[in-house]
Amino acid sequence: MLLNAAPFAISFLFLPFAALGAWLGGFWIFLAPVSAFVLVPALDCAMKLNEARLPSDTDVSQLYWHRLLTWLWVPVQLTMIFGLIWIATFGHLAWWEIVAMATAVGISSGGIGITYAHELAHQQNKFERSLSEVLMCSTFYGHWCLEHVYGHHINVATPEDPATARAGETIYQFLPRVLIGTVVSAWHIQRDQLKRREAGFFSRHNAFLRYAGWTFLFVSLAAIIGGWMGIMILSIQSIVAVLLLELVDYVEHYGLMRRRRDNGKYEPTQPHHSWNSGHQASNWLLINLQRHSDHHYKPRKRFPTLQSYPTTEAPQLPYGYPWMVLLALIPPLYFKIMQPRLAAWQTQFYPEEVTV
């Protein structure tokens, strides 16, 4: 299993990339972003689509190396964030290099860290779920751990889900709705959980208190190391990370909606309610997150067992996430590429109900 897990360790190259950027400054700062948005997509184009996976019934004990990768990213991400704060405070970087490095670290914590947090949040044991909370709170987005599992996965591909982009909705219309909507949804979920437990706001069962505690710890540590500059760096990387997360959310379900049945309930989530991508290099980088159709169909699966679906069963993205999120920033270009695919999806799965 070690050899099978090895390609997914490509994300750990971001640590030496960040170290070189913070130490040398200048062009080296852009090593990580260029790798993510240029090199990996170029490899996607050069490589064939990859459908290889481990069997769905693979015992969790056989996935030790895959799981270890997700655990190890926690100290890696914290090292990048607080290491940058230390270097910016006591080093030689110019102000623009500090801002650029904070942005580069945010790309790492958003593109890689939140992807790993996503995998950990879906697990049943408290250790891995706690690691997910640490990663998300380092980006000031701890509530996502609660909302994603108990909100998004229940309401995905419906108007009730703030993280499902509507057809024709630009990323700039989507962002305000999702940023506010996920907080509101998370609090409603937590409030209902506390009521069922007959627990008060200050109960140990209130996850928002944990999120606040972790966030306060990270802000305090940033302030101790770098004062206001430390807080600024932590905040910049958080903003970049969250924006990247929501760009990915936008791409993952853009325009896809489930049918509401006569009884008022929505049909069960199927592979065709998420955009699928079998691009190999970006799936290595993002630990199979792009096999999103299978993830929503069977969310208990760990990432090495996720399968890729053919066009007959799930809609396909033309590129991996790195290029798709960049395209989303240019709505006319994004719509030119995605609207024909969305129309084909509607014709294939709901020919009598929806028109683009």
pLDDT digit string (tens) for 158-189? Answer: 999 999 999 999 999 999 999 999 999 999 99
Q: Which two tokens stand for residue 194?
A: 């506390």
- Amino acid 57: pLDDT: 67
**Phi first, then psi: what are they for 353, rounded to 5°?**
-110, -40
Q: Please tell me the distance from the alpha carbon of residue 181 to that of residue 231, in angstroms, as a whole number.
A: 26
pLDDT one-digit tens code per residue, 121-138: 999 899 999 999 999 999
pLDDT digits (tens, 9 = 90+) for 27-55: 899 999 999 999 999 999 999 887 777 77
For 233-260, what is the mean pLDDT?
97
Q: Is the pLDDT of residue 61 over 90?
A: no
- As a whole number of angstroms, the distance between CA 155 and CA 167 comes to 17
Tell me the pLDDT of the chain averaged across its residues. Answer: 94
Q: How far apart are CA 351 and CA 347, in angstroms?
A: 4
Question: What does the alpha-carbon distance between residue 271 and residue 316 come to, in Å, rounded to a whole number?
Answer: 11
- Tokens at 264, concatenated: 């008022």
* pLDDT beyond 80 at 111: yes
**pLDDT tops 90 at residue 355:** no
**Confidence at residue 39, expressed as pLDDT on a 0 to 100 scale:** 95
Strand partners, 212: none
